[in-house]
Amino acid sequence: MAKKYIFITGGVVSSLGKGITSASLGLLLMSYGLKISLVKIDPYINVDPGTMNPYQHGEVYVLDDGAETDLDLGHYERFTGLTLSRKNNFTTGQVYYTVITKERKGDYLGKTVQVIPHITDEIKKRIKEAGKDKDVLIVEIGGTIGDIEGLPFLEAIRQMRYDVGKDNCLYIHLTLVPYIKVAGELKTKPTQHSVKELQSIGISPDIIVCRSEKRLTNEAKEKIAMFCNVEKEAVINAVDVDTVYEIPLRFKKEKLDELVLKKLGLEPKKEQDLSQWQEMVESIKKPKDSVSIAFVGKYVGLKESYKSLIEAFIHSGASMNIKVNLKWIEAEELEETEPDKLLGDVDGILVPGGFGLRGIEGKIKAIQYARENKIPFLGICLGMQAAAVEFARHVVGLKNAHSEEFDKNAEHKVIHLAKRWEKDGQIIERDENTDKGGTMRLGAYPCIIAPSTLAHKIYNKKKISERHRHRYEFNNDYKELFKKHGLVISGESPDKEFVEIIEIKEHPFFIGVQFHPEFKSRPLNPHPVIKSFVEKSYESKRAKAEN
């Protein structure tokens, strides 16, 4: 059980930035030497976001242990550098599933199972488990105050103050203070209503963080403090910024970290030093140059679907003091257009992951264009698989080559369902007659890098570990044939069952990875594959300018 708990709720509207607020506060507390962890509670009934459409949910963020989680876990890991696990994210679906399973087994000894105490007890149990051996646990409650599905969680965190004592529990409420342009005024009434809603269920916020387009006036702060029953110093302004990585520095200026330490009676364990973070933010805000990269995806209508990848490009650009301009290209549009029209002005081409047949031929077309025109290329997950199909068709000459996922009748299934699968530490054999077996390869797996390859130059090590989220993989039956035609298998699982990295030697930079490198990129430690791709794309830009 953690020594102290901070609960972060949101009001007025959704998507205000509770996740960024939680992550920023986590970074600030860690900078004092405190041991922290974070939890995201999602009120939806899905067990996890793994089956949800990206347009519904945004990115599914995968952890080392294979948990499919909310994208806020990505913010937590990026800001704090922590490696989280499945205990750091849970949903209504998981809570009810656990309670109903216990009821069916007779664990409640015939009692009537109710929201209070059985559901709320399960919620509190999970929160306390996540906070084991930590100085502070930050808990973010998804959704908005007033949502019916969030009520059991709010009741559980209300009870937590009684369980752990009021000195060990802090409530932070994030609200919107809209600016009415016509009146030229910031309006505090929505915040007052949101706090009143929270108070009606027994929770009085200790700190109110106000998201706004413009800085709060002294008058607005006083008004919120008076009507929401908090001290004026506990009204924190979260004004819009150029980059989310600036938010911890803004909170520092507002003295949020000092206020939290004071209210929880916490003593810093070391002197705070945010200089590296400050330098990184300055690099993002004032880049010396830029590079253009085509982002050939199938969910470009909702860029949140690629959140970690977007952030990974920001990290790599900041480390080089350049801005990475992503040119968003809908893969389906490329199927009907000459590639030169959409790709002729870029310095690098990225084909990210995804599921389903839609847009696959557009991705293959982009890869062919990158290969033939010697444009730096990076393929991730489905992007790597599409690169294998493109190579099979246009270099090896296997005209009827495709992924088994998209064409069961293809003569050459160069991408197929694996015959063996490892899930939760167990080997699962695929049933060839029913196509049943392990359905998804999730989480961190080891990969052995071949010497004298681009991959080895990038990582400069023999063994790596990367996170996966996919069903289909490279068909090993084609390994030797592909090698004869110049495809390099530069990364494989230790038992050589799974191809992890492919590359082409006769190309300035052409690499495909089966894993998702973006999940391990951090602001102060960009992922080497993505950083190398950005560096090569920038070199390509400069070479074109010189010519």
Q: What is the pLDDT of residues 404-438, one digit of tens each?
A: 989 999 999 999 987 665 555 555 565 554 444 45
77 is catalytic: no
Give the Cα separation of 386 and 380 in Å (integer): 9
Segment among 135-139, 280-284, 433-437 with least mean pLDDT: 433-437
Ranges in the chain annotated CATH 3.40.50.300 = 4-279
- Specify the pLDDT at position 354: 85
CB atoms within 10 A of CB 316: 25
Whether 234 and 11 have beta carbons less than 8 Å apart is answered as no
Is cis: bond before 117, omega within 30 of 0?
A: yes
pLDDT band at 181 (very low <50, low <70, confident <90, very high): confident
228 is catalytic: no
- For range 283-308, the mean pLDDT: 92
- Specify the pLDDT at position 434: 44
- For residues 222, 223, 224, 227, the Cα torsion angle rounded to the nearest 10 degrees is 120
- The first and second tokens of residue 60, run together, are 């599914």
Per the residue annotation, which of 68, 390, 500, 518 is the catalytic one? Answer: 518
- 226: Cβ contacts below 8 Å, ≥ 6 apart: none
Higher pLDDT, 136 or 147: 136
Using one digit for the tens of pLDDT, what is the confidence trace for 487-533?
999 999 999 989 999 999 889 999 999 999 999 999 999 999 999 99
219 is catalytic: no
- Please choose, from the candidates 239, 177, 233, 237, the residue with its C-alpha nearest in 3D space to the C-alpha of residue 206: 233
Per the residue annotation, which of 118, 470, 516, 527 is the catalytic one? Answer: 516
- The first and second tokens of residue 42, run together, are 């999602």
- Specify the pLDDT at position 53: 67
Give the Cα separation of 468 and 528 in Å (integer): 17
- Specify the pLDDT at position 175: 96
- Please choose, from the candidates 343, 506, 519, the residue with its C-alpha nearest in 3D space to the C-alpha of residue 442: 519
Per the residue annotation, which of 210, 228, 381, 447 is the catalytic one? Answer: 381
- Specify the pLDDT at position 125: 97
What percent of the chain clears pLDDT 90, i.e. is strictly above it?
A: 82
- The first and second tokens of residue 437, run together, are 């077996």
Is the pLDDT reported for residue 305 higher than 90?
no
- Specify the pLDDT at position 435: 47
Which string of b and e fits 506-523 if b means at least 16 CB within 10 Å? ebebbbbbbbbbbbbbeb
Is the pLDDT reported for residue 447 higher than 80?
yes
Ranges in the chain annotated CATH 3.40.50.880 = 287-415+472-546
Provide the mean pLDDT of the chain.
92
- Specify the pLDDT at position 358: 87
CATH code, residues 4-279: 3.40.50.300
In angstroms, the Cα distances linking 151 to 51, 102, 118, 166 are 24, 22, 14, 21
Sign of CA dihedral 453, 458, 463, 468: negative
Superfamily, domain 287-415+472-546? Class I glutamine amidotransferase (GATase) domain (3.40.50.880)
pLDDT band at 450 (very low <50, low <70, confident <90, very high): very high
Question: Quick one: DSSP state of residue 50?
Answer: G
Give the Cα separation of 423 and 384 in Å (integer): 22
